[in-house]
Structure 1
Amino acid sequence: MGGFRSRSESGRTGSGDKGHDKGQDNRKRQGGNRGGGRGGNKGYERRSESHRREHDNARRRIGSGDRVRDIVFEVLRKVSTDAAFANIALPAALREQKIHGRDAAFATELTYGTLRMQGLLDAVIAEAAGRPVDKIDAVVLDALRLGAYQILRTRVDDHAAVDTTVELVKANGEAKASGFTNGVLRTLTRTPAETWESRVTAKVTDPVARLALQTSHPTWIAEAFNAALGGTPDAPATELADALAADDARPVVHLAARPGQMSGEELALVTGGDEGRWSPYAVYLPEGDPGDLDPVRDGLAGVQDEGSQLIALAMLRAEVADDHGRWLDLCSGPGGKTAFLASWAMGDRATVDAVEPAAHRAKLVRTATSGLPARVHEGDGRRLAEIRGLDMPVSPEGDGFDRVLVDAPCTGLGALRRRPEARWRKTPADVAELVPLQKDLLRSALKATRPGGIVVYSTCSPHPAETRDVVRAVADQTGAVIEDATALFPDLVESGTLDSAPFVQLWPHRHGTDAMFFAMLRVTA
């Protein structure tokens, strides 16, 4: 069943909130007996309220007494209230507090694990508390998620998990809920993790929805993955559980050697990494900061998922008769693929025109392609004629670029393992909003490509609506020919891991890459 770790049975279960309610009743009775009369009671209440505020402020300054958990909780709150990205907020907090080594690793595990498992944790917390999580104060709920994750998914001692969580609640102005927090978490410790999971998932009858809860995904994302893997609502794909579980695995850093400047073999020797399986320029870096590596600092390599490298290679390997070296990257920010293409272009005496609508991302593209044959243009890829300095190339075959890449804006469902909170922020409405943009960009790319030229369309999402449906719809409208992109990668075909021809759909559990999709279309006369 899901991913909760096993623990031994140690007692009976309970609702978890009864102790908190009883404590409130006792405090009310005690308060009512102080001060004698009504006037005295009011004075007491005013003094006690002022004292409580001073006490709470002091606790916030001091914290819970556990620096690592204070940092983790601060990041969880920023994610909840400020829509912060954990992969940005956590490293910044660790640097500021000078947390390194094992403490930093522990903080990372607690932060990312709590965020990834939010759906399943919420279901278990609701079961233990006897109330829906939307009826629990937001600060207390984030603390309960952190405590529940430690109890159900780590080897942290139960007593330590409960006590530190209660202290977090007190330190963050919710001392009145400390009894409730203690009761819920104590309830969790009395029952094995697998039993909790069975209890909450048994209530879900739909097989895909049940698997979504077991792997802590929104149901709609599990349904999209299931469709991309060829499953049906009644008969989920056999790989669906593996595909969803892969979102919880920590991805290995992938490096990309810049073509013409360094080979993957050379990069592996210099960095001590392992050569990639699919791209001749890929290197896997199990540990360490890639920013500290000389090839990365010197611009001979960059950090890039191997799937992204295959997308760029698809554009470069496609056969184009009489290639005049005018290439276009229609959605270029932040510049990783553009730099890869431009490095290759140096050897082919080609030029890459890179289009990016956002000024700050266009600046990143310029930095990534410094010294390479690339021209960066700020503008909307749907309206190329309006972009200053971007001239449509002319060749004997006709007007347009020889090779065009459309790495379209998408939901990013293929990279959920890299952003632990992303699965809870995305909604089906995001897909509906993006699909028209994706179609417009692909149509614009085809219009900008000369007859006989090729367009590679890619997304970091396996959702059928963003991938094959977009490609087929636009091909039908424009007359472009969908060609077999899998033929460009015989190693992938021979591995038996591709079943999506004429498209290429990569998966973390199959290929070790993000769940990238790409298709190849040729413009006809």
Structure 2
Amino acid sequence: MDEGSGGPRRRQDTRGEDRQRPDRSGRSATRPSERGRTGDPARLAAYTVMRRVADGGYANLELPHELRRRRLRGRDAAFATEMTYGATRLRGVYDAIIEIAADRPIARIDGGVLDTLRLGAHQLLGMRVPVHAAADTTVALARQVNGAGAAGLVNAVMRRISERDLDAWLEAITPTDGEVTNRLAARHSHPEWIAKALRQALLGHGASDKVTIDADLDRLLAIDNVPAEVNLVARPGLVTVDDLVGEGAIVHPHVATAALLPGGDPGALAAVRDGRAAVQDAGSQVVALTLAAAPIESGSQHERWLDLCAGPGGKAGLLAALAIERGADLVANEITPHRAELVAQTLGAAMDRAAKSDSKIEVRTGDGREIGEDEPAAYDRILIDAPCTGLGALRRRPEARWRRTPGDLAALGVLQRELLGSALDALAPGGVAVYATCSPHLAETTFVVGDVLKKRPDIEQVDARPVVEAVTFGWAGTMGSGPAVQLWPHVHGTDGMFLAVLRKRA
């Protein structure tokens, strides 16, 4: 979506088809006898992934598997990706349109049929697919995966949807009264509770004021519907950004370890395949860089670092490379054995290098809530990348906005406070900890830090802004009112990472 626009952005179809004006009769240009009887592989892949997501899967994990299984590459893979992610992100808009076009609540439409209609609606309204092609292929898909009876309903709904363009439909589904936030939520396909939470977060973190809040929220919700750029991390000592540029990447304008990949499969890069580089959002890199750069007063000659919640290993991978450069040790802890294995795989290249240095890189399986008791005052630098709702990564996790509920905050809040408290117990006097979440929600960020600090006179919060400014370029004055730092997709182009720097008094 274009920043500040009123709704989903029309995209160039990855197959290069030119969008035609809708046939106002609503009828397909292809005679029934000529219509396809089955869905094509790209549309079948998108439908399959959406059904798996409905059963609890994650699109970013399911889609690559399905593309490989169907041997989809190039334009077909890009087409399936855009359909899957676009239809999932814009589900709120499309469901409201489908209800009107079907003249029935979506609760009365079978889940599989509804996913077919969402894919069809996205082709009509969010991609440059000709109307007749979108209608015919969606009906063919329905006939194959939903049955002949459902195909009739899909055909009728697609005809109705094609009678209006996107702007007209947005006008039809957007409330004309009530709060501005609710209108923006409907227009930008966000649950109302998330839009309200993001509004409060913009104000609470000092990113907006009463004058700018409506425009800022509009931009933030809009950017959540734009696919995020592929960010790479060049792990220091293992590969350089210049090496990645040599393989087709572009230097990131704000983060020294980051590069942008304008197209293609990241796995095609040799440095990514062997673990010297990885796909990692620039905001996540800033978290690790901040922990490594924050001044400490512990006086340790050989520092020990801890990544308390390391899985699946992205930040630990960068921390390991930085630790080796600094002659420090790193313990990467993860509670789940499977995720601990992923961490070990991610750290493989760094562990090989550490074996030839004075540093030790260790991956452990354990409960982060117990480390403070088991290893009191043992670490000079600790990262607490706490489990959270992920509201800062809605661009990358399209299903998250529909899967999370306000009720998740209570259980996560307890866990976040327990993990932070344990980490502070494990922190050596004079050492620093960074508490981070990929969510700007106040209940997961400033409230957690504030509640824990009330009971910890041995801990002081350090202004994180100068530290972040020291490890980035060009972001001075964009990080809010402090002392914590909140990054924003619509301001920094990163995921919505929150980070607070805490020091144990020496």
What amino acid is aligned across from residue 144 of structure 2 in structure 1?
A
1:484–1:190 CA distance, 2 compared to 1 (3 A): same
Q: How far apart in 1 are the matches of 2:309 and 2:183?
A: 37
Alignment of 1:369-518 (within 5 A): 369=347, 370-371=351-352, 372=354, 373-384=360-371, 391-392=375-376, 399-479=377-457, 480-490=459-469, 491=472, 495-518=476-499
Three-state SS of the structure 1 residue aligned to 2:495 is coil
Alignment of 1:97-116 (within 5 A): 97-116=70-89
Query: 1:482–1:502: 8 Å Cα contact kept in structure 2?
Result: yes
Asked whether 1:194 is paired with 2:160, we answer: no
Q: How far apart in 1 are the matches of 2:419 and 2:340?
A: 18
Q: Which moved more, 1:439-448 or 1:243-252?
A: 243-252
What amino acid is aligned across from residue 146 of structure 1 in structure 2?
L
Query: 1:208–1:233: 8 Å Cα contact kept in structure 2?
Result: no
Query: 2:252–2:260: 8 Å Cα contact kept in structure 1?
Result: yes
Asked whether 1:122 is paired with 2:101, we answer: no
The CA deviation at 1:7 is: 8.3
Q: CA RMSD in A?
A: 2.5
Q: How far apart in 1 are the matches of 2:100 and 2:26?
A: 10
Unaligned runs of 5+ in 2: 1-5, 11-18, 28-35, 355-359
Query: 1:454–1:523: 8 Å Cα contact kept in structure 2?
Result: yes
Partner residue in 1 for 2:192? 219
Partner residue in 2 for 1:165? 138
Partner residue in 2 for 1:396? none
Asked whether 1:244 is paired with 2:221, we answer: yes
Q: Which moved more, 1:480-489 or 1:344-353?
A: 344-353
1:228–1:114 CA distance, 2 compared to 1 (3 A): same
Cα displacement string for residues 372-425 of structure 1 (whole angstroms, at most 9, x for unaligned residues): 3212221111112676xxx55xxxxxx432111101111111111112222111
Cα displacement string for residues 205-244 of structure 1 (whole angstroms, at most 9, x for unaligned residues): 2211110111111111111211111168998442111111
Alignment of 1:14-413 (within 5 A): 64-80=38-54, 82-203=55-176, 205-230=178-203, 236-264=213-241, 266-321=242-297, 322-324=299-301, 325-369=303-347, 370-371=351-352, 372=354, 373-384=360-371, 391-392=375-376, 399-413=377-391
What amino acid is aligned across from residue 73 of structure 1 in structure 2?
Y
Three-state SS of the structure 2 residue aligned to 1:382 is helix
If asked which structure has higher relative contact order (CA below 8 Å, sep 6+), I would say 2
1:302–1:358 CA distance, 2 compared to 1 (3 A): same
Q: How far apart in 2 are the matches of 1:444 and 1:467?
A: 17
Three-state SS of the structure 1 residue aligned to 2:72 is coil
Three-state SS of the structure 1 residue aligned to 2:232 is strand
Cα displacement string for residues 259-291 of structure 1 (whole angstroms, at most 9, x for unaligned residues): 233443x33443232222332111111122222
What amino acid is aligned across from residue 234 of structure 2 in structure 1?
A
1:153–1:418 CA distance, 2 compared to 1 (3 A): same
The CA deviation at 1:9 is: 7.6
Q: How far apart in 2 are the matches of 1:109 and 1:263?
A: 31
Partner residue in 2 for 1:523? 504
The CA deviation at 1:150 is: 1.3
Q: How far apart in 2 are the matches of 1:188 and 1:288?
A: 33
Query: 1:75–1:89: 8 Å Cα contact kept in structure 2?
Result: yes
Give the TM-score of the pair, scaled to structure 1. Answer: 0.83
What amino acid is aligned across from residue 267 of structure 2 in structure 1?
G
The CA deviation at 1:292 is: 2.3
What amino acid is aligned across from residue 431 of structure 2 in structure 1?
G
Q: How far apart in 1 are the matches of 2:496 and 2:384?
A: 17
What amino acid is aligned across from residue 509 of structure 1 in structure 2?
H
Q: How far apart in 2 are the matches of 1:415 and 1:436?
A: 22
Partner residue in 1 for 2:8? 3
The CA deviation at 1:493 is: 6.9
Three-state SS of the structure 2 residue aligned to 1:205 is coil
1:92–1:170 CA distance, 2 compared to 1 (3 A): same
Q: How far apart in 2 are the matches of 1:101 and 1:7?
A: 24
1:205–1:10 CA distance, 2 compared to 1 (3 A): farther
What amino acid is aligned across from residue 316 of structure 1 in structure 2?
A
Cα displacement string for residues 420-457 of structure 1 (whole angstroms, at most 9, x for unaligned residues): 22211111111221011001111111111122111100
Query: 2:234–2:278: 8 Å Cα contact kept in structure 1?
Result: yes
1:298–1:126 CA distance, 2 compared to 1 (3 A): closer
1:84–1:188 CA distance, 2 compared to 1 (3 A): same
The CA deviation at 1:317 is: 0.9
Three-state SS of the structure 2 residue aligned to 1:518 is strand
Three-state SS of the structure 1 residue aligned to 2:436 is strand
Q: How far apart in 2 are the matches of 1:383 and 1:143?
A: 47
Cα displacement string for residues 152-176 of structure 1 (whole angstroms, at most 9, x for unaligned residues): 1222122222222222222224322
Cα displacement string for residues 117-173 of structure 1 (whole angstroms, at most 9, x for unaligned residues): 111100111112222111112222122111111111222122222222222222224
Q: Which moved more, 1:226-235 or 1:94-103?
A: 226-235
1:143–1:297 CA distance, 2 compared to 1 (3 A): closer
1:172–1:494 CA distance, 2 compared to 1 (3 A): closer
